[in-house]
Amino acid sequence: DQQVKQNSPSLSVQEGRISILNCDYTNSMFDYFLWYKKYPAEGPTFLISISSIKDKNEDGRFTVFLNKSAKHLSLHIVPSQPGDSAVYFCAASEYGNKLVFGAGTILRVKS
């Protein structure tokens, strides 16, 4: 039972363009959503988060959008840089407890 799904295993984007990573969830009790970035042989690094009471959160080049009615969130990276190439995980939490992760999307930014 996958409660958090990232349906695109990989995404390739040209440097300077926008990267859009998508995530869907099924559990309506999730109240907080997070994006993590992971390089090989390292642990996930926290990137940006959003509470279920908001629909947008922005931090520099990174913006997360939440559509509660559709149970969908997305991460926008503008402009994309080669250093953004990594695996991106979407995660959700219920009342600040354990995180439930998607399977990840591999982002490749081509220069």
Minimum distance from residue 24 beta carbon to another protein (Å): 14
Contact residue for another protein among 13, 44, 66, 84 (CB under 8 A): 44
Closest CA to 90 of 28, 44, 7, 23: 23
Contact residue for another protein among 22, 57, 74, 93 (CB under 8 A): 93
Contact residue for another protein among 12, 28, 45, 67 (CB under 8 A): 45
Closest CA to 9 of 102, 101, 71: 102
Contact present, 32 and 92 (Cβ < 8 Å): yes
Residues 70-89 that bind another protein (CB under 8 A): 89
9 Cβ partners below 8 Å, 6+ apart? 103, 104, 105, 106
Cα of first residue to Cα of last residue in the chain, in angstroms, is 38
40 binds another protein (CB under 8 A): no
Contact residue for another protein among 36, 64, 66, 109 (CB under 8 A): 36
Query: Can you give the binding site for another protein, defined by CB under 8 A?
Result: 4, 32, 34, 36, 41-46, 49, 51, 89, 91, 93, 96-104
